[in-house]
Structure formats: C-alpha cells, structure tokens
C-alpha cells in the first residue's frame, strides 16, 4: 500500500516525535540521524535504525527530511538520491526557505526524475509534534497526495495542499512571521508589565476568553510565567525562519520583522539560542 514504508532523516525535537507517530500508526519506519543517541530511543519505540541515509531511504515509499537548515539537507540528501526507490516521494518538511527549496526540486528533477519532490514544511512545535497535531503545508505533484496521505495523517491534524512545490515554503514563512510577532508581543507586554507592577497572572486573567486570547500567545505567556524555557521551538531556529522570510521578500521593507531579527539575534548571541523561543522575554531584561 502506498506510503506504508517511511524513512525519516533527522530525528531531533521534531523528527523524533514525527517518527514515533509514524510507528504508532503502523507504518514501517526507518530512521537515521548523525547522533546515535537520537535514534536509540526510537528503536525502543519500534523504529528501524539505519546506519546511513542511503540505507534508510532504499525501500521507502516516502522519505521525510526533518533537518534544521538547507546546509544540513544539502550535506545529507544529494549523496543518497541514487538510493531512493523508483516512484518514491521525497517530502522535505523542515523550514529551509524558498530559494533552497527550489534548488532541491530542480536538482532532484535532473538526477532522479522518477522520484517526486514534495515541499511540505510543518507548522507547530514540540507539543503538537508529539501528539500528531501538526499542520502540514504541502505542495508538489498531485500524484504524491495519495502516496503521502497515511504518513501525513500520522504526523498532522490537517494537510493543506497549496499547489506546485515551493508554495508550502512560502506559506510557512508567512505563518512563522505571524507567529514571531505574537511571541515577541507577549514577551514585550510582560516586560512592560514588570516595569508597571503588573503580575503575569493578572494579564492572563484580563485577556482570557476575549478576542486577544490567541492559544499560542496564551501558551507562551504561561510558559514564561512558570520560568520554563525548555525548548519546544528553539530561539535560534525561530531567528533562522525570520531571516529566511526577510530574504524571500527582499523587495519589501518589513520594518517590524527586520527589527525583530535584530532583537532575536542579540538574544541568541547572549546565549539564549538553545532555549525556547519564549526566552525572548529573558533577553529583554538581560543587562548584557
């Protein structure tokens, strides 16, 4: 049956959660990561562990790459393309930007025209990934929809098909720009509140249930109030996505997004990059 055999290349925070859900859905799932520790835990969950990317992809109907950036994808996948099964789908699900996505699509067409490329970044962080509630922003050949259906259903609550490959990455950058404004808005509102003697619980009580009560903002408000900056979506990854958005829209001013990039870059340089993106709040009160 189409999509019954899946390979996942990259098993960090998101990739490992996705792999566990694929296994739980009854899909034969092979995983590979540079870190043996990352795949050892998945073996205990029922995944098969490959010694190389080539071994991982050899029998897969669907190959998922969930790697942190374009450099990582380019260091792993090109040497593995000849090992892909004929008729397989390569689902590129990390956020690597518009230009890099187009480059991968073109390269695949030139080397393996019998393999379909699907640009399918996901919206959501660790929590939705763990519970299979990601939003899949898919784009690519119509023939790939049936092949990827079971895998995408195991990973996400919903898959939206947006047209030709590249449209998924474009939508992801727009969605993450919106997300970034929400998170920085929460961080700065809480910083202002601390200067004015407003307790975070008081702000939460005023917003709760009203038109300003966005679920994501509410979740980050509570996370900040608890002092819990365990990474669900690391700040350094969020900054990468902001910068990809700015690069993709080089003809636009985007003054708020550019200012946000500068602020978050300072936060990453101050040592908050591996913390959750909500650590943007800590950077606002860091004298350094």
Catalytic center residues: 172
Contacts of 127 (CB under 8 A, 6+ apart): 133, 219, 232
H/E element holding 133?
none
Beta bridge pairs of residue 30: 7, 48
Reference 5, options 52, 57, 65, 73; nearest CA is: 57
Whole-angstrom Cα Rg for the chain: 20
> What's the per-residue H, E or C state across 62-119?
EEEECCCCHHHHHHHCHHHHHHCCCCCEEEECCCCCHHHHHHHHHHHHHHCCCCEEEE
User: Tokens representing 276?
Assistant: 């959750």
């Amino acid at each position: 049956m189409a999509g019954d055999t899946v390979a996942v290349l990259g098993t960090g925070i998101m990739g490992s959660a996705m792999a566990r859900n694929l296994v739980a859905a009854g899909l034969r799932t092979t995983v590979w990561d540079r870190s043996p520790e990352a795949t050892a835990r998945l073996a205990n969950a029922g995944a098969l562990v490959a010694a190389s990317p080539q071994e991982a992809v050899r029998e897969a109907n669907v190959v998922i790459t969930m790697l942190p950036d374009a450099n990582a994808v380019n260091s792993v996948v090109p040497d593995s393309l000849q090992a892909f099964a004929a008729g397989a789908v390569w689902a590129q699900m990390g956020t690597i930007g518009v230009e890099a996505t187009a480059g991968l699509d073109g390269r695949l067409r030139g080397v393996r025209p019998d393999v379909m490329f699907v640009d399918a970044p996901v919206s959501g962080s660790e929590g939705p990934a763990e519970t299979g509630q990601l939003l899949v922003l898919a784009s690519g050949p119509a023939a790939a929809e049936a092949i990827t259906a079971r895998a995408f259903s195991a990973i996400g609550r919903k898959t939206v098909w947006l047209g030709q490959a590249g449209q998924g990455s474009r939508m992801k950058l727009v969605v993450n720009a919106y997300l970034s404004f929400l998170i920085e808005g929460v961080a700065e509102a809480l910083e202002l509140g601390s200067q004015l003697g407003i307790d975070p619980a008081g702000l939460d009580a005023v917003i709760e249930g009203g038109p300003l009560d966005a679920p994501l903002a509410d979740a980050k408000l509570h996370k900040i109030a608890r002092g819990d900056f365990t990474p669900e979506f690391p700040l350094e990854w969020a900054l990468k996505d902001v910068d990809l958005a700015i690069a993709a829209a080089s003809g636009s001013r985007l003054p708020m997004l550019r200012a946000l990039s500068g602020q978050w870059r300072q936060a990453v340089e101050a040592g908050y990059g591996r913390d959750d993106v909500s650590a943007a709040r800590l950077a606002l009160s860091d004298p350094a």
